[in-house]
Structures are given as C-alpha cells and as structure tokens.
Amino acid sequence: MAIVGTRTLLLLLIHCSWSGARNSQSLHVRLSHGGWLIGRHLTTHNGRHMRAFMGVPYAVPPLGELRFKAPVAELGWEGERLAVKDAPICMQRDPFRRDMQIEGSEDCLYLNVYTPETISSKNTSLPVMVWFHGGGWQCGAGISSFYGPDFLLDHDVVLVSANFRLGPLGFLSTETLDCPGNNGLKDQLEVLRWVRTNIASFGGNPHSVTVFGESAGGASVTYHMLSEKSRGLLHRGIAQSGTYFNPWAQPAHKGVAARRATKLAALVGCGSSGEWPLKLECLRQKPAEDIVASLYDMFVWDFDPMIPFPPVIEPEHEDAFLTVPPRQAREPHGLELPLLVGATAEEGLLKTAALLNLPQLMDDFKSQFEQVLPVVLNYDHHEDSVQQRITKRIEDFYFKAGHDYDKSNHQNLTDLISDGWFVAGIDEYLRLRLAQRAGPTYVYLFDHKGAASFSEIFKGERNEFYGACHAEELQYLFPIGRELFVSAVPTRKDLELRELMLNLWVSFARTGNPNPANASLNLPVWKPSSSYPVEFVRLGTKADEAAAAPLFRIEAELMQQRVNFWRELQPHLPATQQHNEL
C-alpha cells in the first residue's frame, strides 16, 4: 500500500508540475486567428533563458491537389496547440553531400520562433531576424538542430526559421498558368506574411524585420528585395554567398523549365506528351519520393548543372512572384533597404573538395574540360564555337601553367569555381546597388581557418584545410557544428570570431548598421561601400592560433583582378540559363 500510494503521489506531482508549465504565461501565445500556441523553455549556449515555439504551421499542407500550387495560408485552430518540437523537413535529396537517400515529408510548411524569456533592454519590441536556409533550393531545412537559436538568442532579437518546398516539389514550372512555378519562394513569402501578422505576439517588431540567408537563402533575400509581393515585409537584408545574379540562381531561359517538367513527367510515368492539366493530374497521384528521386536524372555531368529547378519567370497572373528577369527590373524596391552582403574566400570548395578527393572525378574533369566547364558554369546554351572561345579565355586566365592542379596546388581551380558560381554574381549585384545610389551596403569577406571546415561535408578529407569553404560562416551564427563536426573543438579564435559576428549581424538587424554598440570590441568603423574599389571587411584569420592576427580588418579592392575578368567576360555569358540536354 505504501509503495502504491507513493507512486500515485509522485504521478500526481508530475501531472501538477506539467500542468503548471503548460499554463505558464510566458509559454502561452495567442495568434491573430485566436488560437493559442504552447511553447517550451530552452537555454542558449551561454545559459540565457528563452522561449521556443516549434513546428508552427504557416500554410496548409501542400498535399494532393495542392501539390505544385502556391501555398494556402493556415487559417488557424481553436484552443491550444503544442509547439515544442521540430516539424519534418521538406522532402529532398542532397546532391552536395552526394547523398542517395530521400528524406523528409511533403507536409513540411512549418516555422520556428525563438524569443528571449526576459528582455535586457528597455525596448519591449524586439528586432526580428527571419532565416532562409541554403541548399540550392534542393535540400536543407530550418530545423533547430542546424539553425537553432543557441547563439543568436544571447542577444535581444526574435529569430524565425522556416521550411519551404524544395526541388521539383517547390520549383517545378510548366511556364503556363497550370503551374507557373516559384512555389518555394512563395512559401517564403507566406512566412513573411505570417511574421507581419503574428510576430508582435512574441514580442517582435513587425516593422523591423531583417531577412537573412546563405547561398540559395542569400539569393532568396535578393529575390524578396526584387519582388513587389514582398514590398513592406522586410526592412533589411543579409545576403550570404548568394544573389539572384549568380548563374545557378538566375531564372531558367524560356522553355527550359517546361522541358524539364516534361522530362520529369516522363521519368515518373506520366507521359512526355499531352496537355499539362492531364500530366499534372498524373503527377499529383505519384508518390512524392518518385518525383524527388527524378532530380538526379536532370544532371548532365556529375551533379551539374548545379540547380536543375531554379526560379522562373512566370506568366502574368495575380499571385505571380516574378514576371520580369532580374536584369530587366526597374528600380527594385529593395535597393533602398540596407544590405549586408558577402562571401567566403574559397566558395568554390563546394565543388572542388570532391574533385580533389575523388580521383576518378578529377580525371574525368580534366579529360573532358572543354565539354564539362560550360555545363558547370552555365554557358552551355551557346553554340559550340562560342563555348570554346569562352572556355579558352577562362583557361588562359586561371591555368596559365596548365592543368596540373591537385590537393597541394588547387587555388586557381578553386578560385575559378568561386568566381564563376559566386563572386562574379555578388559583384554584379554590388554594381547595381552602387550605380543606383541604393541604401547602405556593407560588404564582407569571410576568411578564417577554424577547427572544422565545411569542405569535409563536401567530400574533402578531414584534418586537411583547403580554405574558407562555402557555408563556413554558418557555424559562427548557428549551432550547426554540433551535428556536423562532433569531434572538433572550437579554438579561442573561433569563439572570439563567433562573438564578433553575432554582434555585427545583430547590430545590423537592429539598426541597419553593423557597427556594434559594444565598445569593448574596440573595432574600426565599418563604413558602407559607396564606389569602386569596394571597401570591405575581412572577417577571421588563417594565421596559427598563437599568432596575434586581427579578426576584423578593413580593406579595399575585393578580388579586383578576378572580378574585372568576369565583367569583361559577362557579355559572352548567359543572361539566363539553358542547357543542351533539353
């Protein structure tokens, strides 16, 4: 009896304790539609208390008839909804890790909101930072294990991260009103609308929203600064390693998206001819896994072209996100907004890490250089003679000594991919802003040797440092290294750089100016770029741990000789993508 009584009492106490936690005022939030969310208590890396509301639906699950359609806003619910864990990631297949696995769910349109439990400043309405992840619009997720609040919520901000549809499920387009496309970007737009409507309930300021992202997430930021649908929904942007001028991010050339949709339909057994309504009806009946698996059949060489399903130019209709090619857009509304934009020093390791460590792939690359390079760099829509001339100019600039590169001599090869995929497009976006007398534009270059590198993720060898790889800066803003680099211990300089970057990013989100109010950091003033040569900040150091190297340096002439080469080459490169296999 005593044992039974004790157990009953213990269960009663646990129930009462849980009931009290559920009814905590700080963990109860009422949304605009009248329904309630019940969040959970978490602590940051430094032990600060925060509230987390996870797996919050912002749109109706895009299933059945809603597949390949624009998102439908979540109408809400009555009563309480528990929001204490991540929702499934959007269904995907990751080509960057060379992953054959398909993971995730179609029912994935959810977001997470993180906010301090108590606010250290007198201002009770906090700046909002909305994160859109990278992954080439093909993979990635906004989940807490990668893009959690552990570092950023040591500061007074509200952080929102979100899933959005990827690959053919998010970007398939028939180039007709049957399926105009850009649904992944429209998912992001729905997130921003949700933030405008609901974020005040979490203590966030709907009039102080900074959208930030990396790679395709960075390009997404610039798309929202272009699309009229996003006007007024964001007030600052941070574009890390991506703009819509990068070749992989540009809208597909007219006809390409429809041909790829036709190819996909044939691959999954929905025919290669016939009217689009019938083919789309068939596609909506197919398992989502079959549609996602078809992504790998769109590649021509290795995993190139890098993004088979990029954004598209839509036919005019009420819900269109993008109807004009970016280079033809007149005075995009986002030009007037403050922008923080930059790259890593060796972006190209996203591709070359695998080339350097998979001998057969490197041999194939070298032996078929003239055929492969146009596919990799997105100029294979030209006639063969034009492709050959472009390839020869690139070869003469980067490989004067010939194709003798390997692990110990890869810099020119990595620079080529860095410039062709990232630096040239970012430079073009800078030129657009500086020519238009746009809002303040702050430029950085991340150039740091840390305890861990993303080149490992892209098939580079562990314990070898090739440079500051694409995505390298993410581990200083988010706890992404906790899952990816479990055996790496951050160095003292890593920790100092993390604190520095968090202060810079949060200061920009708060004021549109990255110069932190924290005087103890003792930094030189970071001025916005206004003309060429571009003044920029170099973040990090590749010096040994014992060296007294600064982590914040103001410099000029950002890769000047290399960007000049691509400016001269640009008239010969595509304004939009097209590929010969289609």
Active site residues: 215, 347
Burial class (CB in 10 A: 0-12, 13-18, 19+), 2: exposed
Handedness of CA 4, 6, 9, 15 (dihedral sign): negative
Q: Which amino acid is at 415?
A: D
Residue 240's closest CA among 341, 374, 130?
341
Q: How far is it, in rounded angstroms, from Cα 147 to Cα 149?
A: 7
* CA 256 to chain centroid: 24
Helix (H) or strand (E) holding 443, with range, is strand 441-446
Task: Look at the alpha carbons of 471, 472, 473, 477 in this order and tell me if their dihedral is positive or negative.
Answer: positive
List the structure tokens of 174: 């028939």
Residue 198 to residue 537: CA distance in whole angstroms: 36
CA trace torsion 12, 15, 17, 20 (10° rounding):
-130
Only one residue has tokens 């204490």, namely 84
Residue with tokens 């649908």: 229
- How far, in Å, CA of 529 to CA of 425, rounded? 17
Q: Rounded to 10 degrees, what is the CA torsion of 80, 84, 85, 89?
A: 50
Assigned token pair, 501: 């970057």
Return the biggest CA–CA distance within the chain: 92
CA–CA gap between residue 280 and residue 274 (Å, rounded): 10
User: Which tokens sit at 321?
Assistant: 């996100």
CA nearest neighbour of 227 among 327, 323, 132, 131: 323
Burial-class residue 64 by CB neighbours within 10 Å (0-12, 13-18, 19+): exposed
Which tokens hold the place of 209?
Answer: 């929203």
Q: Is the peptide bond before 311 cis (omega within 30 degrees of 0)?
A: no
H or E, element range at 412: helix 411-418
- Rounded distance, CA 91 to CA 88, Å? 9
